[in-house]
Chains A and B, each alone.
Chain A
Amino acid sequence: MKLKRGFLAVAVICLLAPWSWASATKPQKWTGSQTSPVHQIPLKDEFDQPIIPTEKNPLPFSAKYTCAPCHDYSLIRKGRHFDAMTAQSAGRPGEPWIWVDERTGTQLPLSYHSWKGSRNPKELGLSPWDFTLLFGRHMSGGGISEPGEKSGTSESRWNVSGKIEIDCLGCHNASRVQNHSEWAKQVLRQNFRWAATAAAGLGEVGGMASRLGPTWDIFDGPNPDDSEWAVAPSVKYNKSLFDAKHRAFLDIAYKPGDARCLACHATAPAAAKKFNFEADVHTAAGIACASCHRHDVSHDMIRGYEGEATDNPALAAEDFTCRACHLGAASSRSGKILPGRMGAPYPKHFGLPSVHFERLACTVCHSGPLPANEPAVVRTARANRLGIFGVANWTTESPVIQEPVYIRDKNGKLTPHRLMWPAFWAEVRGNDITPLKPDQVLAAAGDLLFPEKSATRILAALYDVVGPDGTPALVMDGKAFEMNADGGLDASPVEGEKKNGAYYWAVKKDGQYSPLIPDFDPANAEAAAAPEAGIQKILEALAADPAPGKPVLAYKSFLYQLIDNNLDKSESKNPAAPAPQFLRLKDGKTQPVIPDEEKRVIAALAGSDQTLTEEQVALVLKALGEKEHAYISGGKLFRLNDKGKLVAKDNDAAAPVAWPLAHQVRPARQALGVNGCTDCHSSGSDFFFSKVKGAGPLRTENVAALRASSFMGVGGLYHRLFGVSFAVRPIFKIVLFICAFVIGALLLIVFLVALGRLAGLIEKRK
């Protein structure tokens, strides 16, 4: 009866909710007050019902209904951060979402905007559900993560997880408890409708929707059958935030603080130390992100690039470009813009020929790292998962993003860009190259993409043998490999070890590696007793490993194996093993516990952020079907030739994907060109001639290598000549000065003579 009444109530609420939300918003007109109201307001759930924190199992708060009385949610949904799938004008390219799958070596730039090089998720078969799972950690809700009722796909679980409404507090919460890590964690757990509540610190959210069955519904409440694993999400509100009328205090900032923006938009050089990292000069001057990147309630945010007003005529975008604040502008939608907005200094640019202003964006000289031999590698929040803290390390080294690379924008101006090199497995049909999803590759490749599998299984088994004080390790080629928390291998150098391909199993104690089985004489029964006891333990542990074959140990001319749980020592039929060597005995034949190809891959990738070798790629291509498939990495397309050999070729699909950068803006005294023309115009300047090398998950020498000038579309030879001309320019200037002096002096004489004659002061010569 109670359940029936509940259903009725929910049905009524569901019917009325959209109407009440749509009708509740009252347009807000600014009165001129420069203060924001204190948001001591009733929280509403997704059914527009007030939240009573003292109730049993309260629902998470809904920004949609909590904010709706004053703020037009339907209008906000069309804003910059939420409209990727529906935006009419995407403007200049921005950073794509990059689908990184380290195991398959996939680094695929995705965007719902038609930006060059980025793939549309729809074309790859990624549903809004998939996309939200992949990138919801750094999404702000709304848009594709809040799909309509009929947009569910077979694999989606929106009914379990809820939708991710626009997380208003994700940006506008001024409270220091706003926690982006919590947001990411809740999204990972598929606790979509709870994420905003948890991230804002309004309450504590427990349970994981990802572990619940597909039929679970929010009305089902807690799972009475499981309180440990499949625990339904729930929220315990922080009651101290509520007053007696159940109104919660939300510390709302009209302009979001920089920390909120940087949670998703931070960028920093990969090699930088935190203490040494320079913030944007505007930040240092006290200017907030939102001071320039403004918007009204439509949330149609100004990006601030030149030409934005053409892309989005509704915005007063030209008022907030570099030029507008620092130089002023003759005309704009809001009339003449005077320089000096927010105290912007007026740059004189002494000695800078005006052609630079016609052909270069301001950011060329003022933003990003200074050009060097090679572009700097940077990490971005969204690509490298920055800003998510916890026990697990979320941050990834891949994808490798490089900057600055100077590329012309649609107005023909050089603009500094970031770029990344796509990496993916692909189906090739003629000129069409269609990326494969990582799970398709994994299904075909099987263990080929898990080369460390044999080693990690053995290391896992050895943990019981070495005891709590030790750590089992594989020592090979001067490196020790230990298991990490993710089940992979971490490599560290070991001094004094030869790089000859030989390996042994070791135990690490107090930072020192010693062989798991010490040298002993198997023929000396007394001396061998203790080591043989250890061997028995190890063989027992390895026997639990499901790998095919029976574990045995070959040492010198003996072979140890377990027979009926007893250690058996017999003469080996194989050549004598100089060091203890674990093998697998199958069908009377022995084989290494780590196949040679796996050993090669482990050794090749040790200490590297790369995850694939050419040998693996060749094997996976064979597994996928060598004729129709390819792998792209580092700016090259890899295929098998007729002889089955891996060959690299250039291909448009392997070209880097670039997007303009605007920050970090450096102080004027660190601008490019502050040291003179030769900062750029010299025969070997980094600006024109730095080398941009392809980077990707594949460990190979076959990567694209391009000069910076090739990205600019300018002739390298010309700029070398032009650069050389600057070497003689001081002399040239002196020559010009002398010539100008001579010409000027003669003209002056002529003028004076003519003047003298005119005045009769000088007589004509006889």
Chain B
Amino acid sequence: MPLFILITVLSVAAVLVRLAYVRFKGPTSAGEKNPAPFSAAAYGKWLAGRIAPAFSKEALDKAQDIYRAWIKEHYPGPLKWIFVGFGASLIYLVASGFFFALFIGRGMFGLPLLGHVMLGGLFAASLALVLILRGRAYRPDQDEASVLESFACPVFKNLSGTRLRKFLFWTFAAFGLVQVATALGSMLPVFTFETQRVLVTIHRYSALALLLTAIVFLDLAVIPRRRP
């Protein structure tokens, strides 16, 4: 368990710092590029300066605008509720799962656990619908043959935004499947208690992978690329 906490904290921090750095290095909304060479002090100052605005009303309004635009474009009409269910369940599952895993020694229990199980079902159903409805937007094209080449180090360097989004979309789906399958497996009287332990471990680590994938996807596909 302490290993999982360590891995979680480090990996989430690394991804966030990396994404922030990419944004820092990118052009501003005014089209200005960040001057080279890299300055840690400048990066730190920029990062610190972003914390307060991130919790401002403007940021909230902006997030709502992004959300509405995303819904309007991808989930029009009643399909919106599929995305709402998907997003809400994902947020709850991530929040409850990681809160108890990181801060509560005995793990999840009580009503949060009941909610976790119930919303797990909603997440599974909404994920399946999202894949059915939106999967075609992320279908593999002929260029995907070069995807493997793109994975040469440094990671993602040669990967276009479109390819990366597709890759993240289906990776998210794969980890989602692991989540659903391990949850279902724990409920079936077919696995020994030792396998059950393994299932819980897989569930936990795949949840972390799913979270990281979701963060990168969100950054890449939803939030505007240009920094303020």
Contact = CB atoms under 8 A, between A and B. Distances in A.
Contact of B114 (A350, A676, A725, A732): A725
Contacts of A586: none
Given A352-B196, A764-B141, A764-B142, A743 B106 contact: no
Interface in B120-136: 120-121, 124-125, 127-128, 131-132, 135
Given A354-B196, A725-B117, A754-B144, A742 B110 contact: no
Interface stretch (A237-245, A355-363, A456-464, A615-623): A355-363
B195 to A, nearest CB: 9
Interface stretch (B6-14, B27-35, B169-177): B169-177
A633 B176 CA distance: 57
Nearest to A752: B140
Contacts of B186: 353
A47 to B, nearest CB: 60
Interface string B143-175: 011011000000000000000000000100110
A740 B180 contact: yes
Interface string A332-353: 0000000000000001111111
B125 A735 contact: yes
Contact of B197 (A348, A354, A676, A754): A354
Given A358-B107, A718-B110, A758 B148 contact: yes
Contact of B188 (A347, A348, A733, A764): A733
B137 interface: no
A761 to B, nearest CB: 11
B19 interface: no
Interface in A114-158: none
Contacts of B132: 742, 746
A454 B145 CA distance: 106
Nearest to A355: B107
Interface residues of B, number: 44
B9 to A, nearest CB: 23
A740 B145 contact: no
B187 interface: yes
A763 B188 contact: no
Contacts of B142: 757, 763-764
A743 B117 contact: no
A736 B183 contact: yes
Nearest to A763: B142
Given A729-B187, A744-B177, A715 B110 contact: yes
A763 B145 CA distance: 11
Q: Which of A348, A676, A754 has the most CB of B within 10 A?
A: A754
A330 B135 CA distance: 47
B121 A735 contact: yes
Contact of A348 (B176, B184, B192): B192
B99 interface: no
How would you classify the secondary structure of chain A's contact residues: helix, strand, loop or mixed? helix
B118 interface: yes
A739 B106 contact: no
Interface in A739-766: 739-740, 742-744, 746-747, 750, 753-754, 757-758, 760, 763-764
A737 interface: yes
A562 B124 CA distance: 97
A736 B121 contact: yes
Interface of B: 106-107, 110-111, 114, 117-118, 120-121, 124-125, 127-128, 131-132, 135, 139-142, 144-145, 147-148, 170, 173-174, 176-177, 180-181, 183-184, 186-193, 196-197, 200
30 contacts: A347-B193, A348-B192, A349-B196, A350-B191, A351-B190, A351-B196, A354-B200, A359-B106, A412-B106, A715-B110, A718-B114, A721-B111, A722-B114, A732-B121, A735-B121, A736-B121, A736-B124, A736-B180, A736-B184, A737-B184, A739-B127, A740-B177, A743-B127, A746-B131, A746-B135, A750-B135, A754-B140, A754-B144, A758-B144, A764-B142
6 nearest A-B residue pairs (beta carbon): A351-B189, A764-B142, A739-B124, A349-B193, A742-B128, A754-B140
Given A743-B177, A753-B140, 14 more contacts: A347-B193, A351-B189, A358-B106, A715-B110, A732-B187, A739-B121, A739-B127, A739-B180, A743-B124, A743-B176, A746-B131, A746-B132, A754-B140, A757-B142
Interface of A: 347-359, 412, 676, 714-715, 718, 721-722, 725, 729, 732-733, 735-740, 742-744, 746-747, 750, 753-754, 757-758, 760, 763-764
